[in-house]
Every structure is written in structure tokens, then in C-alpha cells.
Homo-oligomer: A and B are copies of this chain.
């Protein structure tokens, strides 16, 4: 009952904070001791999520500076819970008072009102704001650092498509040669201009766009994942659907797999440099819910931002009368771009959780 803000088995994260409250934050319970961590390690990831770093983003000018409240001593994690905070600075709630009785279509205003009996903090969407994803980025920053330094696990998320503009590139197998465009989060230079134009057009029309994010994780050891229920796909999809606006998740061949035959779809096993690999990767690096040593590949669909300035039909929840709403406030034309670092962080959290759970990452890092 209202206790759904904790995620993870061994590396647990607790999310708290509201869009227009004092702060956004998270507590990490289960971080190994001995991890060298600085504010800068975390800030670097937070900055990727800042609207200033994507096009078509909200004008809300949050500095989004991280503060470490506990769990780090002399520059290293102690094994105690780590509380991380980002103070909200640029809050303007005036508008939300005027629309608190008229739920915005595509938003959680209505369901939150029902679920919490009208006691929910409706300002800026409260808990349902995209700003809640800061808690994922805070924890993800630490997870990414541990995975990279301990196991050389590299994670990258990037825009695969915006509206109907889609990259044809296969997922990269070597990140050292990849450049992710900071404004569009795209790694395919051939579609960057089209994306910018589409976003600019939507912005002028007061409308919004959706997109698809592809994610890869390289160098995972085989053996991560705890079937029957706590599969890698299951845990990844669960955290992904916590990110506002996610509508679909597919692994490897994904939806396309339904149209292939088994003889086309199965990934044959081969030996390469003494290791067992598969020559194709329709599995997305996961068999039976367990990593197989191939790259993890999945795609996440982000719906168009529900906040648009075009007039929409809604109702007044107090009077039950129909009305209409034009959403003002400061919003992203395409939230998908800003979801990219969030999904990267979420991926790191799940992989680290399973790496600890499988005893591949030890309790003390020396």
C-alpha cells in the first residue's frame, strides 16, 4: 500500500521527492564498501539528463547539483546506505493551482487523484513528474562506475528513432568509436538533422513527439539473472516501465521475432578465441532470463510527451463537467531524448544488482 518506491534485490534503491517539493533523492541500500565515489562522478550523469543538454526541452533551469548525505567517507563508500539529494531550485507552481481539478490527458493527474484521495502533491505532476527519474540517475551513476571499473561493463543508450525517423545502423559492438550527439542523443549522424527539424516543427505546432531508445551493455559475464521470476528481462522491464512515458520494451529480435521461424531465429553457438558465443544475437544476450555473454540489447518506446499547448478535452473532477485545457508550464517537446541517460542508468542498476546477487561483485571492493 503506497510502498512501491523500492527497487532491487541486493543493490536496492529507494526513490523519494516531488517535482515542486524541496528535493528529489534516493537512498541506495546494498552498495559495496570501498567504491571510490565523488560528487563529480554523479554530477556527470545528472548533467546528461539536464534539459540544457537536449533540444526541445523544458525551460525549467534547474542546476541539478547532487549532494551526498550519507554512506561515503573519505571519498569511499562505507557499506552504509547512501542518501543522495538534488535540491529543487527553480520551482514555479503557480500554474498548477489553476488546473488541479482538470486532469491533463495522457498524464497521471486523474489516477493519482483517485489513488491518493486528492492528497497527492499535484504541483508539476508531483511524484509522476519526469523529474522523479533523477533518483534513477543518482543511483545509476554509482552503478555505472562500479560496473565499468570492476568488470569493464559498458552501457550505452541512444535514440534509435524519433517519430518516423529511424536509424538503420546495427547496435555498436565497440563503444570507443561511437559518438553520441549531445543534443539528440543519436549515434547515427545521417538522421540527426531530420530529428532536429522534426522536433522544431512539433515545437512550433505546440505538439510533441515520441521515440525509441536502443540500449546495449557490453562485456557482461554469462550467468546473471535469477529465473524463474527474477530474470534479466523481467527486472529490466520492471524498472523501465517505472520511467514515465514508456509504452513498450523488447529484447533482441523483440516484436519482429514473431514473424521469424525457429531456424532463422535461433542463435547458433560457435567458438571464438576459446569462448562460447553465438553467431547471431536475436536473443539480445539473454537465454532463459540469464545473460549468455553476448551483448545485452533492448529497445524502449517512449510515447509523445503528454504536455502540449494544443487545446485538449478533459473534465473537471469535482464538478464532473466537460471542459478543455491548453497546457502551459515548461515542458519537453520530446521526453524521449531526456530519457536516454535515465535508461542507461536503469540498465546499470539492474546489471549491478544481479552482479552482486550472483556474487560476481564482492561486498568489499579493494
Contact = CB atoms under 8 A, between A and B. Distances in A.
A42 to B, nearest CB: 15
B269 A110 contact: yes
B5 A121 contact: no
Contact of A2 (B3, B5, B15, B226): B226
Contact of A70 (B2, B23, B112): B23
Number of identical monomers bound together in the oligomeric complex: 4
Nearest to A244: B288
A71 interface: yes
A83 interface: yes
Interface in A68-94: 69-71, 73, 76-83, 85
Nearest to A108: B288
A32 B304 contact: no
B73 A228 contact: no
Interface residues of A, number: 155
A258 B32 contact: no
A222 B132 CA distance: 22
A328 interface: no
Given A128-B288, A257-B301, A119 B251 contact: no
Contact of A111 (B21, B163, B222, B241): B222
Interface string A311-330: 01111010011100000000
B33 A2 contact: yes
A29 interface: yes
A126 B255 contact: no
A191 interface: no
A159 to B, nearest CB: 10
Given A80-B126, A207-B263, 10 more contacts: A2-B79, A5-B27, A33-B119, A76-B119, A108-B290, A111-B290, A117-B366, A163-B259, A208-B261, A234-B240
